[in-house]
Structure 1
Amino acid sequence: MLYCSYCAKNVEPAILDGSICCSECGKVIILNSFTDEPTFLKDSAGLSQLSGNFVKTVQSEDSVSRGRILRDAQIDMASMAYAMEVDGGDSVLMPASKFYRIAVERNFTRGRRKEQVEAACLYISCRYNKKPFLLIDFSEHLRINVYVLGAVFLQLCKLLSLEEHSIVQKPVDPSLFIHRFSERRSQKVILAGFCHGLGQLCPISYKGLLGGRNAKVERTALRIIASMKRDWMQTGRKPSGLCGAALYVSALSHGLKCSKSDVEAIRLGVCAPLFNMSTREGRIL
């Protein structure tokens, strides 16, 4: 199965004149692909020998050290998914492990930090399974610059031939984040010394933005997001900012007590001026 950017789905490939084409629309996916038939050449002594070199495939057996590297990476990605509350289990971890195996086989991990490659593999799997996570969430978890992690992500997509896939070409759908942000709890930092005499800063979680799941508010927020997408408000904006504005307007329309500071307290990763701009434009719609 290969991905066709014109059909926007995985299709069965068709081989025609040495090129791999889409069996449905006929678009050339891979031009002048190599043949798998053996060819022979004559050397300087006039003897025939097999042309080409033996290339180790991804499906070949792993050595002891490489198997340990892959197991450690799988454990690290499972720990990262658990810490970031990524649901899905094996449906997310197994594709990420396969991406990391390909990266190891093609020496992509050389010269790059291990946790950055693991985060990029896990993020690609989250995008493929439509999980509500952004690249900045992984950068905040690893405490690194998002542009550094973004460069590793784009290079890995090029290695995996995903340049024309919807994972790279299409923006993230903001509607995926509505349920996640509506349940996210705000955190306030207080002095725990008043209660325990420790004199340490301790984060205390309060109730979520809507006080828990509110189906009516979430449905209205999804309609607001759909209206924003129809008016091209999604282009050039972070999904978290659009979701915050949609939840804020939706909560007010249903008569719930919600302020802009409450929305900013759930750590959307968007500053107040951008949030005010998105809210103002959303109200105009």
Structure 2
Amino acid sequence: MSSGRKCKNCGSSDIEVDPARGDAVCTNCGSVLEDNIIVAEVQFEEGTHGTSSAIGQFVSAESQGGSNKFGASFHVAGGLESREVTLRKARNGISHLGNQLKLSQHCIDTACGFFKMALSRHLTKGRKNTHIHAACVYLSCRTEGTAHLLIDISDVLQICCYELGRTYLKLTQALCINVPSVVIVRHTIN
């Protein structure tokens, strides 16, 4: 398969690009012109007993230099990486809670940003999704200065205020976020 390139060694334009191997080879002199080519296609091979598996490596858009091999840690759900599915579910949960509390879109987006930070630091493992979502929403409310209290979120979700508070404190400490204090003003009637 000719790719329109020329060989640096012999000048031939008969270059064979093989996506399965991830290389480009000159068919005239046999020089390997490119190795480890990244391709945007998925190929499968058939194994024993009719099983099939993907060939190649997966490179995430947010990866930092390395690549993940297809395997147990790579889950496909509608063509999405496991992390993307987790972020989508979190955005849905946070948006639903934010809408119940009548928060602005900016507050919801900020809460989603906090969730993404928590996820990247592995702070979501071993904790309930609703607690993490709620803590991120409350963190957003505190940093944006809304009038919402922890008990408001606890009431909406019907979860223990103290558990939610513990999750919130863990997140703020682990993410090193300085949160403004809450000032409650009580009005007395004369």
User: TM tier, shorter chain?
Assistant: 0.5 to 0.7
Match of 1:73 in 2: 90
Match of 2:136 in 1: 121
Deviation for aligned residue 1:72: 1.1
Match of 1:235 in 2: none
1:14-163 map, 5 Å: 60-61=62-63, 64-86=81-103, 88-89=104-105, 91-162=106-177
* CA offset digits 1:155-193 (Å, max 9, x no partner): 00011112xx243xx2x133xxxxxxxxxxxxxxxxxxx
Residue 133 of structure 1 aligns to a residue whose secondary structure is: coil
Structure 2: stretches of 5+ with no match in the other structure: 1-60, 65-79
Deviation for aligned residue 1:98: 1.2
Residue 127 of structure 2 aligns to a residue whose secondary structure is: coil
Counterpart code for 1:75: N
* CA offset digits 1:57-95 (Å, max 9, x no partner): xx9249711011101101111111111222x21x11121
Residue 138 of structure 2 aligns to a residue whose secondary structure is: helix
Per the normalisation by structure 1, the TM-score is: 0.38
Match of 1:10 in 2: none
How many residue pairs were aligned?
115
Identity level (%): 29
Counterpart code for 2:62: S
Residues 142 and 179 of structure 2 are in contact (CA less than 8 Å); yes or no, is this contact kept in structure 1? Answer: no
Structure 1: stretches of 5+ with no match in the other structure: 1-58, 175-224, 226-241, 250-282
Cα 1:145–1:110 shift into 2, 3 Å: same
| Bigger radius of gyration | 2
Alignment partners' CA distance in 2, 1:116 and 1:147: 11
Structure with greater helix percent: 1
Alignment partners' CA distance in 2, 1:159 and 1:66: 20
1:173 to 171, 179, 183: 183
Alignment partners' CA distance in 2, 1:71 and 1:100: 11
Residue 93 of structure 1 aligns to a residue whose secondary structure is: helix
Alignment partners' CA distance in 1, 2:107 and 2:63: 24
Cα 1:160–1:125 shift into 2, 3 Å: same
Alignment partners' CA distance in 2, 1:142 and 1:72: 16
Deviation for aligned residue 1:109: 0.9
Instruction: Give RMSD over aligned pairs.
Output: 2.0
1:224-235 map, 5 Å: 225=185
Residue 110 of structure 1 aligns to a residue whose secondary structure is: coil
Alignment partners' CA distance in 1, 2:102 and 2:63: 33
Per the normalisation by structure 2, the TM-score is: 0.56
* CA offset digits 1:2-30 (Å, max 9, x no partner): xxxxxxxxxxxxxxxxxxxxxxxxxxxxx
Counterpart code for 2:138: Y
Residue 136 of structure 1 aligns to a residue whose secondary structure is: helix
* CA offset digits 1:26-62 (Å, max 9, x no partner): xxxxxxxxxxxxxxxxxxxxxxxxxxxxxxxxx9249
Residues 141 and 148 of structure 2 are in contact (CA less than 8 Å); yes or no, is this contact kept in structure 1? Answer: yes
